[in-house]
Amino acid sequence: MFKNAVRSAEMNSQLLFLFIEHYPDIFGFSYLDAESCVGLTVPVENVATIAGCASVIEGVSRSRNALLNGDTKNYDWDSGYTCHQLGSGAIVVQLAQPYMIGSIRLLLWDCDDRSYSYYIEVSTNQQQWTMVADRTKVSCKSWQSIIFERQPASFIRIVGTHNTANEVFHCVHFECPEQQSSQKEDNSEESGLGDASLGGPQLDPHALQAPGGSSLPSSPSSVSRSPDRQ
């Protein structure tokens, strides 16, 4: 009886793989290669989306999943980004399931000429982490393309280590794998630099709440600035 149960389970597994292989669009993927069929799926489309059941489980934002909503245009001094205090915490994205991923793309907050430094780690259990990008000694602005050897991951941790303007790391958009077509229009050509004018009110540092309810001074401005972007 036990052998029959095992044989039945093996047949069902094989049928499932065959079904996914022939109808990948049902599962949100454009293709499945051999590596996917023997282990984890290698996605082609961005799986770090709200529709794909991904979520931000650590980080501060006015909207819990602003990092994953796909909006790369509507952000300013007050909203449209996710952040964390340098030296404390991180921004952590949880995917719906483990995937084999080999690329990530970020949009760092770029409404002025500041630069950031950071590193990125991936994990399947939040216990053992593998670093896939170390840009702690690099001045980074605007769009960031990270390519690395494929790693199994269901958690991605972004840790800011430096900001030339203040003590908070701000990220507007996250995707994996990298989707070239989603790049913000007319922004990357100028290295992501925006315009800002002096004289406006500063965002109340207690206005933003972390997903767990804790407060953090999260505004990108280190001095009083206008929230308007040109």
Q: Is the pLDDT reported for residue 10 higher than 70?
A: no
Q: Which pLDDT score is estimated for 28?
A: 44
pLDDT in tens, 88-143: 999 999 999 999 999 999 999 999 999 999 999 999 999 999 999 999 999 999 99
Q: What pTM was computed for the model?
A: 0.68
Q: Is the pLDDT reported for residue 52 higher than 90?
A: yes
Q: Is the pLDDT reported for residue 190 higher than 70?
A: no
pLDDT in tens, 206-225: 334 333 344 554 578 654 33
Q: Mind giving me the DSSP string for the chain? A: -HHHHHHHHHHHHHHHHHHHHH-GGGGT-S---HHHHHSS---SS---STTTT-EEEESB-SSTTGGGS---S---SSSS-EEEETTS--EEEEEEEEEEEEEEEEEE--SSS--EEEEEEEESSSSS-EEEEEEEEEEE-SEEEEEEEEEEEEEEEEEEEEESSSSEEEEEEEESS--GGGPPTTTGGGTT-----BSSPPPPTTS-B-TTS-B----S-SS-B-----
pLDDT in tens, 66-77: 999 999 999 999
Lowest mean pLDDT among 24-38, 81-95, 212-226: 24-38
Of residues 150 and 197, more confidence is placed in 150
Q: Is the pLDDT reported for residue 226 higher than 70?
A: no
When pLDDT is averaged across residues 29-40 and rounded to a whole number, the result is: 49
